[in-house]
Structure 1
């Protein structure tokens, strides 16, 4: 019988983070649950012993919190198998209506927080785990990471940035380290995290109800999303158990539809613009970087 996996989960207080914490524990795995308000998980602490659940106060925008959490994980369990990099939130606002400090705060959590956790995870997998055992980093992105929506441009930018970072990181890691990166791209799912989105006042220039950002605001107000968050986390868990980790994992038929639209648009761009690139090489040659 396989030994239980050790999970390190960020943003465990709600949404996918809480759901994955509960499910991994129910399957007999060990969870290091990190969140800004540990008391939120007092019910789970009452159900599970310290050798199964370690709850830590972590604000992913604070490097010292991240470092302490990985040190505590090493001290408590001596190994780590999966990082579910989930902490983040949405920001709904037109670009012109978004103050710089709000946009930067979003990136501090969604991008810098996630990437700093990733860096710490890679080091742990390489230097603490048995040589070659490696580990898995599950980056919780969004369809917004490849399909930006009006009124959520800064949120999309934070996810685009996370996806670029994750793609590059995956290509940097030697195969011998056995570290897998999987970018999870959920479509529209109903989580209690939906209500935690930061919604800023609408910029007056975009107040016309027919404008794209206004339409999005109207759609989101009071909406109940069709995706089941628990089904997503259970599916992701089964993917991990299966051992074959995809580089990307779009989740939901809506996500697949938007991904196909993105692919079609990119193919159309290649067809429409390739003529402009035919004769752009130096006459005397030079280094050509291939994909």
Structure 2
């Protein structure tokens, strides 16, 4: 592992972000980590080492605040080698019962904040002639479950953003990966990382059943955040890392089945698809 790397990690005070930051510091990396409260972040990480750890209080809805945090990181470490856009939260409920403002709020955090942070970091990476953007998505962005339509939409947006961003920045020596986990034991469902709207509409049984299953599974998810963090760390040493990295056996199975279904559907409707063109 190259200990000279400087990582900038958003949403680092809990969950996968916190596990990753601790693992990075244990392995000698330098880390600038963001949270809404720097003191909470310090306490969660449990390491006060200004030579290698820079906790930052950042309002990710404020581009000026993001820019200032980038300047602080460069002042402390002189470079930014890896950006991890991890900040985000979940949302479960039927789309007709979730308040409109709450829908806009989750897009602001899960999508727009990641784009704004990437915009702020890319000039640094272009100047260096190297860099790595790692966006934390979800298998739900490709294969959603009932009741998770809004959350899935945010993660699908992150996946699409990552795909095209990779094409845009390849010439500058910058790599991009979107990490798409299934269920991991990070407290995602019970530590304030989930906005849950219980359905009071008769019906929506698939949504209600799925919500019960997810809530009952908290703390029993098969995904190990320690192993996920080690895998993410290993990406930076790869000459050709994956663009999409699904994490967890459940993520693999769900993505594989979706690809099979999509391929069959694409071929079934091929004649309709190509008939939309002008005749040559």
Alignment length (residue pairs)? 276
**1:184 aligned residue (179, 182, 187):** 179
Write the distance in 2 (CA, Å) between the matches of 1:270 and 1:23: 42
In structure 1, what is the Cα distance between the partners aligned to 2:105 and 2:2? 41
- Note if contact 1:12-1:33 (Cα within 8 Å) is conserved in structure 2: yes
Deviations 1:154-173 (A, max 9, x none): 00001111111111111122
TM-score by length of 2: 0.93
User: 1:246: how far off?
Assistant: 1.2
User: SS in structure 2 opposite 1:95?
Assistant: coil
**Mapping of residues 1-291 of structure 1, within 5 Å:** 2-43=2-43, 47-127=47-127, 129=128, 132=129, 134-175=130-171, 177-195=172-190, 196=192, 197-206=194-203, 211-223=205-217, 224=219, 225-283=221-279, 285=280
Residues 20 and 233 of structure 1 are in contact (CA less than 8 Å); yes or no, is this contact kept in structure 2? yes
- Alignment RMSD (CA, Å): 1.7
Unaligned ranges ≥5, structure 1: 286-291
Does the residue aligned with 2:132 lie in a helix, a strand or coil?
Answer: strand
> Residues 226-285 of structure 1, C-alpha deviation per residue, up to 9 Å, x if partnerless?
2111111111112223443211111111111011011111111112101213433324x4
Larger radius of gyration between Structure 1 and Structure 2 = 1
Q: What CA deviation, in whole Å up to 9, does each residue of 1:215-236 have, x standing for no partner?
A: 1111122422121111111111
CA distance in 2, matches of 1:274, 1:100: 37
How far residue 29 of structure 1 moved from its aligned partner, in angstroms, is 0.4
Name the CA distance, whole Å, in 2 between partners of 1:193 and 1:264: 29
Superposition deviation, residue 194 in structure 1 = 2.8
Q: Which consecutive residues of structure 2, in runs of 5 or more, have no partner in the other structure? A: none
CA contact (8 A) 1:121 1:137 kept: no
- Structure 1 contact 17–86 (Cα < 8 Å) conserved: yes
Segment drifting more, 15-24 vs 53-62: 53-62
Deviation at 1:46, TM superposition (A): 5.8
